[in-house]
Structure 1
Amino acid sequence: MNAFTLPDIAAQASRQALPLDWVGMCGVALPVLIDGQQLSATADLGVSLDDGEARGIHMSRLYLALELLEKSALSPPLLQRILSQFLDSHEGLSHAASLTIHTELMLKRPALVSPLSGWKRYPVSIEAHLKHAMFHVELNIQIPYSSTCPCSAALARQLIQQQFVDDFANRSLEHGEILAWLGSSKGIVATPHSQRSIASLSVRLSADTHHLPLSAFINQAEAALGTAVQTAVKRADE
């Protein structure tokens, strides 16, 4: 039986000598280990194609390099190692590599007052770039929180003001009467509605960071927001 040699398309010259900033794959499914959690994730990965005469890159070499993510916790040093492997496997073809991992971090959050707690998910993406030996990692985190609709709040204040004018126009006012009015249904003829909002955090890690401080950033952001979306609650929490 004759053995056939398959042609290496990536090594053949193209008719248009045009370099490309990025060539790769998107939405590659893989597991990642973050903060002790095995999470389902997708990855966007690629390299530059500097040699305009080349027909393309070696996709399989990029894909196989992702196997490192199955064995170790996700960290900046691990991401740098993978990107270096991308470039080593494309020596002479590429000078820049990138890897973005999309996943959802699960954290158990306590109620505000009661002893209850529940799980929340936080969409995160970790972007790693290696270009001309310069490496950096960026974290993008989405944090849901509760807020009051500013439009409905303005309308509610306007209606309450109008009701106050209707009830007290051309009258002398007494403290007790106003206090009673504020505590009645007339004092709240309209209430603004709440809404769920998303705070988007983007952080570039310093070069000496060796772990992904996702939980720490989420904790700090929720403390600053003050109205994080709750899970299990009792009346005291409301």
Structure 2
Amino acid sequence: MTRKSPHLVVLTGAGISAESGIQTFRAHDGLWADHRIEDVATPEAWARDPAMVLRFYDARREQVRAARPNAAHRALAGLEARGFEVSIITQNIDDLHERAGSRHVLHLHGEIMMARSSVNPRMRYPLGRDNIAMGDVCDQGSQLRPDVVWFGEAVPAYPQACEIVAEADLLLVVGTSLVVMPAAALVDELPLDAECMLVDPDEQLSIPPGVTRWVASAGEGVPALVRQWQREGRLFVPAMP
């Protein structure tokens, strides 16, 4: 099927959600500050103390519920609403892209607003306003767990992400440093004639060859780019303002 417009693929990471007040695990304050990753975000932690893991993710879920999409989320959704073809691949487990109005969102690391069976990953359940308690079970009778990819687990959505990037005309990277694998390797899936640009406020950030840097926060840089694309009616990599 022939596409009606160039395809923008957006890879987003923790930086875009941080501007909505969601703490990253690298932050020195917030929910992760008093927890080791090994104690709350690994299969071993789940086997050792599932109740503590559930409490931790219940707290993260409440933080997500309290957050609101920011200008970057809204700009991307608005671009799609204007008829541009936009696919979002996010490393974030929140639902801010969806709440902003984006319809084509792939979550590499799962979704915190979903629960899944601890024995059958295909059995997933929307949580709505609920959390997960010990004793909440799937249809096969196994304890429910957060539908997130923990450290040490495979990333089942990665092959699909590779397929999406392979169809991109422009890859926009926002809120992620392109150093965390396997997401960083997605750049290698770009077609040879596609362009890649990174929106990040850190001028000293090391970036791969061939990536154009736009020094700005997500909330400033993404809306500015979207305004240019909407004004021109096409996708392109603009010169730095």
More strand by share: 1
Larger relative CO (CA 8 A, sep 6+): 1 or 2? 2
Q: TM-score, normalised by structure 2?
A: 0.24
Q: Which has the larger radius of gyration?
A: 1
